[in-house]
Amino acid sequence: MHSTAGRCFRNRTAPACAGMLLLFVLGCGYAEYEQRLGETRKYYAYLDRIEQSLAPKPKWTDPYKILELRVPRQFAPIPPAPLIKKDDGTFEQPPIDPRQPDYLNLSFPELIGAWDSMFKVAKGNGINEDRKGYIYALSNYWELAGEHATDAADFVEKLETYLADTLQIPATPQPKDRQPEVYPKTIPAYQVQLSYDHISFPGKNINGINYTFEVYSRKSGSVIGVLVLVLPEGIDTQQKINERIPMMLESFTVTPNPPRPASDKNGPAQGNPVQTAPAF
């Protein structure tokens, strides 16, 4: 009788044990599901922040597709002047490029794109002033196709020297001390991380307001893409520019394909060819 009762007891508890085991397995699976669902929510929240912070898709690109970029949402492109058609049917650069700075005796070399935006800037004593900020996109691309091809690899170093001489402000950090920066910085990164060199020229007074000049450069093979940010100090935090710049840097792509021999930046492309300033 004892053995029979024992068998009955065991038979009665077997379903309960199986149920407990099933709940344990399901619990582990549910926890994993919740974790994955949480990561999915974070990913879509990240995408939503990008869409709310940057200019609408598609990305801006120049006619030759050298650079692609999404600038912060408040920035608008500065259109280039059209090329001048000569009597022989070829084209030449116009004498004035409206995208170049008009606030300093400064001309960016190999300029491919430019944007501006108005910002509220604190002057102190509760007084705000409207001031423009700028983004400039440059590349050594056409240097690789021209008479400056042997110097094209030094494009960023020459730009730094030119800015230091023009602004009369030393770069920080110094080129020999510069450390690369990676965007996105967050882990896990939801896209391929891009490596940059970054230097800053702080505190240039322009018409009573200090401006910073930030230079971000990245390489794609022999082609170098550069973003120069010229922003007034004291921008109202509600304009979220410090949040949006890293997102912009995540979007910046540089072609890995150098120009073909004898390529002409004044030649036909998809729309008006890029306008560039004279080389250094």
d(CA 60, CA 66): 11
Q: What is the torsion angle, in degrees rounded to the nearest 10, for the CA atoms of residue 64, residue 65, residue 69 and residue 73? A: 60
- Give yes or no for residue 12 having a pLDDT over 60: no
Q: What is the CB neighbour count within 10 angstroms for residue 154? A: 15
| Mean pLDDT lowest among 48-52, 126-130, 221-225, 265-269 | 265-269
User: With bands split at pLDDT 50, 70 and 90, how would you rate the model's confidence at 170?
Assistant: confident
Amino acid at 29: G
pLDDT of residue 117: 97
pLDDT of residue 126: 74
Query: What average pLDDT does range 84-110 have in this prediction?
Result: 88
pTM: 0.82
Query: DSSP string spanning the chain?
Result: -HHHHHHHHHHHHHHHHHHHHHHHHHHHHHHHHHHHHHHHHHHHHHHHHHHHHBPPSSPEE-TT-SEEE--BTT-EEPPPPPPEEPTTS-EE--S--TTS-SSSS---TTEEEEEEEEEEEEEETTEEEEEEEEEEEEESGGGGGSTTGGGGGGHHHHHHHHHHHHHT---BS-GGG---EEES-SSS-SS--EEEEEEEEEEEEETTEEEEEEEEEEEETTEEEEEEEEEETTB-GGG-HHHHHHHHHHH-EE-S-PPPTT--TTS-BSBSPP--PPP-
Query: What average pLDDT does range 106-132 have in this prediction?
Result: 91
pLDDT of residue 54: 95
User: With bands split at pLDDT 50, 70 and 90, how would you rate the model's confidence at 263?
Assistant: confident
Query: What average pLDDT does range 122-139 have in this prediction?
Result: 89
pLDDT of residue 279: 40
Segment 224-262, tens digit of pLDDT: 999 999 999 999 888 899 999 999 999 999 999 999 876
pLDDT of residue 158: 94
User: With bands split at pLDDT 50, 70 and 90, how would you rate the model's confidence at 272?
Assistant: very low
| Mean pLDDT lowest among 7-16, 30-39, 120-129 | 7-16
Query: What average pLDDT does range 69-88 have in this prediction?
Result: 90
